[in-house]
Amino acid sequence: MSVVRVLVVDDQVMIRSGIRALLETGTGVDVIGEAADGSRAVDMARALVPDVVLMDLRMPVLDGVGAITRLRADAVTADIGILVLTTFDTDQDILAALQAGANGFLGKSADHEELLRAVERVAAGGSSLSAVATDTVVGHLTRTAREQRQPDPVSPEDLRRAGSLTSREREVTVLVSQGLTNDAIAERLFISPLTVKTHVNRAMSKMHVRDRAQLVVAALRAGLRED
The CATH code of the domain that includes 146 is 3.40.50.2300
Mean pLDDT estimate for the chain = 83
Are 158 and 214 in the same domain? yes
Last residue of a domain, one of 129, 146, 178: 129
Q: What are the tens digits of pLDDT across the range 179-197? A: 677 888 999 999 998 999 9
- CB-CB contact of 66 with 45 (8 Å): no
pLDDT at 87: 80
Are 120 and 141 in the same domain? no
Are 37 and 106 in the same domain? yes
Mean pLDDT of 67-75: 94
User: Is 174 among the domain residues?
Assistant: yes
Between these two residues, 120 and 155, which has the higher pLDDT value? Answer: 120
Domain count of the chain? 2
Are 66 and 113 in the same domain? yes
Which of 32-36, 171-175, 207-211 shows the lowest mean pLDDT across its residues? Answer: 207-211
Last residue of a domain, one of 129, 160, 193: 129
Mean pLDDT of 77-82: 92
pLDDT at 110: 77
Whole-model pTM: value is 0.64
Q: Which residues pair with 6 in a beta bridge?
A: 31, 52
Are 45 and 98 in the same domain? yes
Are 52 and 108 in the same domain? yes
Last residue of a domain, one of 106, 129, 152: 129
Taking the C-alpha atoms of residue 147 and residue 58, their distance in angstroms, rounded to an integer, is: 30
Are 55 and 165 in the same domain? no
User: Is 226 among the domain residues?
Assistant: no
Indicate the burial class of 5 (C-beta count within 10 angstroms; 0-12, 13-18, 19 or more). middle
How many C-beta neighbours within 10 Å does residue 78 have?
10
Q: Which residue range(s) make up the domain with 194? A: 135-221
Are 63 and 79 in the same domain? yes
How many C-beta neighbours within 10 Å does residue 177 have?
22
Are 120 and 41 in the same domain? yes
